[in-house]
Chains A and B, each alone.
Chain A
Amino acid sequence: MNLLVQFLLTIILELIVVFLFLRKDYIKTVIYVFLINLFTWPIANLIYGMGLNYYAVEAGIVLVESVLFIVLFKMSSRKALLISLVANFVSAFAGRIIFY
């Protein structure tokens, strides 16, 4: 599947999760989620491609995205971690369904 399509659909999934938690400033949310994924998605692929453990990469991305949620959305670290965890779990779960 085209990598660009994969990337865009990842953003759609993460947006759905973020919209569930934050129901305000929709345009800002779309921009921020796009930027967050623009930062983490290529890094995740790069590191995973180098042979690092899938779950270790996943955990690292959850933490990095949490920090970015705190910085961009000005939310509590607890909420940021929860949103990041759910968003990445949903995308990872979707991937497992599709490829295994």
Chain B
Amino acid sequence: MKKVILLVFLLTFVVLPFVSADLITPGFEPMNIDNKISNFDDFSDYYLLTVCNPPMPRVSLIEGGVIGSCYKFSKLDVYVVKKSNFNLSELSSIENLNYTEFPEYIGQSRFKLVIDNAEHYKEVPVSSTQKSITNYYTIDLNQVKTSPDSKNVQRNWLFYAYIIIPIIALIIIIFIVWKRKKQ
């Protein structure tokens, strides 16, 4: 008996490094989140800007309502600025601003914050059914949005597998029990 227990424990520790299981927190993988502006065409007099805050500051022009992406640890904001108050050539010089200059620059009264801290990066378990997320924002110049107005989550094949496989297993279990009772 002691030998069996010892053998089982040894075997357990041999397989331990390879196991990620049922209710075991599995590994994670990065997932990009797309952010879109649904009423982009309503702002023809404005430039809409994706603003990536430090550690990797960057400002890019939003085209077609698609908000740009940022480095994963950067806070992503969206600002609007009247076309008459902004020269597109400024965009290239922004990347050279340092940690103190950047907030001062973006804090100018001509820029108006409309989306604060948009979610743009997420880590999900490798077993997650989420393939990608698209957030939709409706811009309102009198409001700072902190969450999307609607969200579209795309699922991968695992979503269907996680539903179909347990159903099949349950049918087999019910069949076994039914057959046993019949005998």
**Interface residues of B, CB < 8 Å — how many?**
38
Q: Given A38-B166, A44-B23, A54-B25, are A20 and B5 neighbors across the interface (CB < 8 Å)? A: yes
Is A9 interfacial (CB-CB < 8 Å)?
yes
**A: which residues have CB within 8 A of B?**
1, 3, 5-7, 9-10, 12-14, 16, 19-20, 35-46, 48-49, 54, 57-58, 61, 68, 71-72, 88, 90-92, 94-100
Is the CB of B8 closer than 8 A to any CB of chain A? yes
Out of B25, B124, B166, which one reaches A42, CB within 8 Å?
B166
Cβ A71 vs Cβ B177 within 8 A: yes
Residue ID in chain B nearest A59 by CB atoms:
B23
* A95: B residues at CB distance < 8 A: 19-21, 23-26
- Give chain B's interface secondary structure class: helix
CA distance A68 to B22 in the complex (A): 16
* B residues adjacent to A (C-beta < 8 A): 5, 8, 11-12, 15-27, 124-130, 158-159, 161-163, 165-166, 168-170, 172-173, 176-177
Complex Cα gap A44–B128 (Å):
11
Are B170 and A7 in touch, CB under 8 angstroms? Answer: no
Known contacts: A16-B12, A38-B169. The answer to whether A61 contacts B162 by CB under 8 A is no
